[in-house]
Structure 1
Amino acid sequence: MRTILLAIALAGVTPANADVLKSSDTGFATRHIQTIAAPPAKVWETLLHPDRWWDGAHTYSGNAANLSLDARPGGCWCEKTATGGVEHMRIVYLADGATLRMVGGLGPLQAMPVIAVLTITLKPAAAGTELTADYAVAGPGLTGIAAPVDGVLGGQWTRLKAAAEH
């Protein structure tokens, strides 16, 4: 998976609405902001079903249909695999229709001694919904990984936008 992340970064696949806010060998923070041409309720419903929008190439099983999100505090963003499963993130804060905050390292970060927090907020906007996704990661060994992670996340938010607008 790290090879995929690096290939995406080298290809420059990062949406214009993305930003690595800070990056060091001990942490990084990214932010993605998008306007989605759909009402907040529809975006929220889509967000809660990662199996509908997450790219299967960025899963352990290779199939996004194996993803699920138990939308409650303590709920798991999990994935079924042929030999068991994966907990990608755990919900620590949920304000229905407005904010979803989860902790957990995505992709190669899961095997690293880091703490990571993803906060997704939705706000009504004139053209539909403004989505802001902030991902903050702290721990050792993070040199050079911020841009690749940001690139992968940017692709996921683009997919979420397309699914919600469909």
Structure 2
Amino acid sequence: MEEFRQHIEKLSPLTEEKFNYILSFFKSKKIKRHRFLIQEGDSVHFEYCVVKGCLKASVMSEDGKDRIVRFAMEDWWISDYDAYFKKKNATLTVECLEDCELLVLSFEDRERLCNELPEMEYFFRKKIEAAYAAFQRRLVSLLCNDAKERYEIFLLQYPMLIQRVPKSIIASYLGISRETLSRISKP
């Protein structure tokens, strides 16, 4: 749990007592590769902090293609946030790309932590701000950059994913075909 404490303390320093209190709200979960954490249509009551592993969030398009919305790996958080915050059914599917160890937090416990501890309200606000900015950058890139530029941006932002995620999934994330990715990724 020391890594998790360091993760929080990058934004919000904590006493030992406060960290132990915060930790009491989380449950541990292990899930195997290729298993689903969330499936489209599910009720979503939890968000997940990745302790170990890699996951993808995706949506199935009308043409039957799996469209990758985002990834999550160590120290990243994942859920179907539209469903989580608005108490709706999931529109995304979240799948483990590797065996995963997660810390699970319910919406109610998140709200309680934020109400009781300004450090956690600040932590979650900063995480949401960073996620919003990342989504904006991704959207701008999808709208304004060609395939090669999107791939180069991906390499700069997420070099650690290249070795962990199959090229077909990276291609889906970039909005291109596997063949196009093979062509533009050659040295």
Same fold (TM over 0.5): no
Larger Rg: 2
Q: TM-score by structure 2 length?
A: 0.26
The structure carrying a bigger helix percent of its residues is 2
Higher relative contact order (CA 8 A, sep 6+): 1
Q: TM-score by structure 1 length?
A: 0.28
